[in-house]
């Protein structure tokens, strides 16, 4: 079910961003899905995903005066919000974000929040993929970039969990590249936010693997989780790249670095995972 839900949510977002309208004929929807399917390595039939979209109320079907089937997205339901609700949430988010920025601009308040080194954790699962172990090297793209080396100790899928992370911009991007090829990639990203807040995040996957023999898709999901503001981590652009196979199990150790006294959006708190 989670794979179908991931594909459905991503396809609806694709329709919203690429079309500029909410109503589609069946033939239009087929063309859009084939384009989405090709670009995202999705291995599903249109009839199957359409049935799921209707069943889960992502879209609704009506008929025009000529009897043509019309499919409408952005309906108010369990998976969508009205434009008015989105605008209210955006204003609330901006207010919370500014309030938090003011709070952490005080060095005394910052010292209460900074408590590491549990910011980054790598989890592997699903041993169906026989590609061996590998290192995922993550580079923060910034003038004061800090490198993350993450040791993946199990075969199969990997899951990146970023904890205590506060996103300042609407388009902070996490880009994950699998240069070896590992089936069915999925990243669950936990981001610490003020209570009741939601911030958009763009997550892309660049995979060189051919997914023809797998039913799952290279789609990353973002779980919005609200927790108490006890710790935080600043993230700009994180690029994760799997670079090599490993012949033996490796253990990780972490090194915690505090930011400089001059605190702004360019300061980063870093965790480095390395071989013992």
- Give ranges for CATH 1.10.10 in the chain: 2-72
pTM: 0.30
Q: What are phi and psi of 157, to 5 degrees?
A: -65, 160
- The number of CA neighbours under 13 Å toward the Cβ of 100 is 22
For residue 45, pLDDT over 50 is answered with yes
Torsion of CA 70, 6, 209, 157, to 10 degrees: -170
The rounded distance, in Å, linking the Cα atoms of 258 and 247 is 34
Alpha helix (H) residue ranges in the chain: 2-19, 26-40, 46-55, 83-104, 107-113
pLDDT tens track for 233-242: 333 333 444 4
CATH architecture group of domain 2-72: Orthogonal Bundle (1.10)
Q: How confident is the model at residue 26 (pLDDT cuts 50, 70, 90)?
A: confident
């Amino acid at each position: 079910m989670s794979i179908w839900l991931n594909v459905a949510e991503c396809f609806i977002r694709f329709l919203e961003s690429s079309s500029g309208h909410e109503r589609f004929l069946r033939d239009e929807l087929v063309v859009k899905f084939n384009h989405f399917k090709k670009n995202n390595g999705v291995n599903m039939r249109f009839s199957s995903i359409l049935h799921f979209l209707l069943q889960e109320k992502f879209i609704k079907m009506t008929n025009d005066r000529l009897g043509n089937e019309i499919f409408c997205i952005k309906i108010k339901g369990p998976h969508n919000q009205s434009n008015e609700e989105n605008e209210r949430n955006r204003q609330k988010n901006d207010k919370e974000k500014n309030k938090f920025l003011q709070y952490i601009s005080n060095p005394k308040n910052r010292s209460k929040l900074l408590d590491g080194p549990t910011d980054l954790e790598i989890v592997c699962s699903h041993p169906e993929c026989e590609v061996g172990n590998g290192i995922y090297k993550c580079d923060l793209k910034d003038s004061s970039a800090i490198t993350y080396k993450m040791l993946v100790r199990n075969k199969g899928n990997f899951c990146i969990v970023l904890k205590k992370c506060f996103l300042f911009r609407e388009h902070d991007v996490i880009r994950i590249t699998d240069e070896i090829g590992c089936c069915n990639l999925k990243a669950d990203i936990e981001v610490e936010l003020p209570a009741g807040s939601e911030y958009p995040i763009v997550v892309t996957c660049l995979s060189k693997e051919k997914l023809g023999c797998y039913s799952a898709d290279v789609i990353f999901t973002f779980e919005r989780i609200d927790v108490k503001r006890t710790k935080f981590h600043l993230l700009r652009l994180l690029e994760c790249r799997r670079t090599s196979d490993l012949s033996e199990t490796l253990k990780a150790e972490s090194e915690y670095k505090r930011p400089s006294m001059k605190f702004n959006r360019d300061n980063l708190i870093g965790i480095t995972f390395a071989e013992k």
